[in-house]
Amino acid sequence: MTSALLQLVGIKKTFGAVTALNGVSFDLRPGEVHALLGGNGAGKSTLIKVITGAHPSDAGTMAVGGHPIARLTPAMARSLGIACIYQQPALFPDLTVTENIGLRLESTSPFRRVRHRERRRLAASLLRQVGAGFSGETGVHDLSMPQQQLVEIACAIGAGAKILIMDEPTASLTQPEQELLFGVVDHLRRNGSGIIYISHRLEEIFRIADRVTVLRDGESVVTRDLTRTGSAEGTAIGQGFDEADLIHWMVGRHLERTSVAIPAAGAPDRLTVHGLGCEISGVHDITFAVRAGEIVGLTGLVGAGRTELARILFGLTPADTGEIRLDGIPVTISSPEEAIALGIGYLPEDRRRHGIILDLSVAQNISMSVHTRLFPGGWLRPDAEQTLAEHYIHRLGIKTAGTSAEVATLSGGNQQKVAMARWLAANPRVLILDEPTQGVDVGAKSEIHRHIRSLVDQGLAVLLISSELPEILALSHRIGVMRSGTLTALFEGHPSAAQLMRAALGNLEPGDPPC
């Protein structure tokens, strides 16, 4: 066996108090496709950033082609032949393919002559190598997504890349486009390149990977070989494992319900959604109900359409098909203003951009969605605002210098509590929580969980969107799973984490409830 192209041992990386990578070991041999698998937040993206030099690792060693590397920078990574093909190609859409390749590969000195003929020849040869069926004179905006990915791959080959990282390359591809991409991957493998292949689609792993490593909670859990059967489709079989094992490794066994939620059976349906869809946000055919006093968890992979669904219900991207009922009455929601008036609140995923206004004070943020109630006639009442803010600072335990402190001065967890306080003050009937504990520390997280539970005890209906399975399992009465823009499963009982992961990946088994 030849020496490894890339060897990582015991890589650690922390961001503040969050450990993203906790001793990951990984290696890549020439001529292999090594799949990297893991749930949301398992550490895949961080690992890629360490490999490409975007993040320095805190501990561990890295060797490229047998040579140890200390302090990798992005420029060094490129010169060592490491290239990453992202899901969304970063080409200039208004330039031609040849111009893009030239910009990527030629010298970046500000005053140099462009040798157009050489540039064209190089581009044509690279495009031939990746089997592209279009000319270098094509404008990039005329190319489909996979064609653009081919251009990216051509650039990587042209730069002499021997280590190619492909981050969910098939996420937005159609079946024939995928086949095209697999052909190129196979070609690269036979030429001796190593490919790190990240995908959520398990069938793809079996389709093209030679080895698979599963990451979970920042650790490399397992690395296994796959054996190619040599059949025409090139399908491989796992060496002593199958898809179920992969899912099990991704999820781990420690994920069980941490507390038994009180069933909300018999309570009236508060929010009912029937056949809901919105063309521009790619969400379609969603049907479910949330009862008063119930938390319905909503999980799925990143990009499955969960936030898009929340945006529809909050009037940010109004629905164009289907029906929404509140307490049985059909409603149309075409703006957040209307949603709030109807009693729907939305704690958005992106706290700093959407959830709060950093430059305004704690009190001004908390009162922001209750202006009409708190300030009749439109006249600000500083005393009333102060009282309201003090109430919620006390109730949620917000640590702040005072009601007039700018929210920017608070810690992430306390900012999130301010965002929560705004919706508690609005006293909604339905509250949509989108990743409510993302980026907050453990202490604030359990406090936020406690507040969510106490809200439903008061009869609120909560739709809880979270990528964290433990959070979903701990809080939800029922759990919906979204995939590719629609609700694919709704679990009434106590699903296991593995069942949820299967549903999120689209590998439903006979025992799982279809939606």
User: In the complex, which residues of this chain contact another protein (CB under 8 A)?
Assistant: 314, 316, 335-337, 339-340, 346, 348, 353-361, 364, 368-369, 371-372, 375, 378-380, 382, 386, 390, 401-406, 409, 422
Q: What are phi and psi of 389, to 5 degrees?
A: -65, -45
User: Bridge partners of 489?
Assistant: 481
Other CB atoms within 10 A of residue 484 CB: 14
Give min distance, CB of 140 to another protein, in A. Answer: 24
- DSSP assignments along 437-459, one per residue: TTT--HHHHHHHHHHHHHHHHTT
Hey, is 291 helix, strand or coil? strand
User: At which residue do the structure tokens 């590998």 appear?
Assistant: 507
Distance CA 91, CA 99 (A): 10
Q: Is 133 helix (H, G, I), strand (E, B) or coil?
A: coil
Terminal alpha carbon distance of the chain? 49
Residue carrying the six token digits 């490919």 = 195
Closer to another protein at the Cβ: 425 or 475?
Answer: 425
Q: How many CB atoms lie within 10 A of CB 91?
A: 21
Nearer to another protein, 336 or 506 (CB): 336
In this complex, which beta carbon is closest to another protein, that of residue 293 or of residue 343? Answer: 343
Query: What gap in Å lies between CA 37 and CA 43, rounded to an integer?
Result: 10
Q: Which residue number, 275 or 376, has a Cβ lying nearer to another protein?
A: 376
Distance CA 90, CA 30 (A): 26
Q: What is the 3-state secondary structure (H, E, C) of 88-125?
A: CCCCCCCCEHHHHHHHHHCCCCCCCCCCHHHHHHHHHH
Backbone angles phi, psi at 282, to 5 degrees: 70, 25
CB atoms within 10 A of CB 289: 17
**Site of tokens 């009862």:** 291
Work out how close the CB of 378 gets to another protein at its nearest, in angstroms, rounded to a whole number.
5
Output b/e per residue, 302-332; b: 16+ Cβ within 10 A. ebbbbbbbbbbbbbbbbbeebebebbeeebe
**227 vs 335 by CB, closer to another protein:** 335
3-state secondary structure of 163: strand
Which lies closer to another protein via its Cβ, residue 111 or residue 379? 379
Minimum gap (Å) between residue 400 Cβ and another protein: 9
Judged by CB, which is closer to another protein: 164, or 460?
A: 460
Please identify, using beta-carbon distances, which residue of 39 and 343 lies nearer to another protein: 343
Report the alpha-carbon distance of residue 25 to residue 9 in Å, rounded.
4
Q: From the CB of 331, what's the least distance to another protein, in Å?
A: 15
> Which of 233, 194, 191 lies closest to 210, judged by CA?
194
Please state, in angstroms and rounded to a whole number, the distance separating the CA atoms of residues 422 and 431: 11
Do the Cβ atoms of 23 and 10 come closer than 8 Å? Answer: yes
Please name the helix (run of DSSP H) or strand (run of DSSP E) that holds residue 214, with its range, or none. strand 211-216
381 versus 451: smaller Cβ distance to another protein: 381
| Least Cβ distance, residue 230 to another protein (angstroms) | 54
Closer residue to another protein in complex, CB, 354/453: 354
Nearer to another protein, 76 or 357 (CB): 357
- Contact 20/219 with Cβ under 8 angstroms? no
How far apart are the C-alpha atoms of 464 and 432, rounded to whole Å?
A: 6
Residue 183 vs 382, nearer CB to another protein = 382
Is 134 or 375 the residue whose CB approaches another protein more closely?
375
Could you give the 3-state DSSP secondary structure of residue 8?
Answer: strand
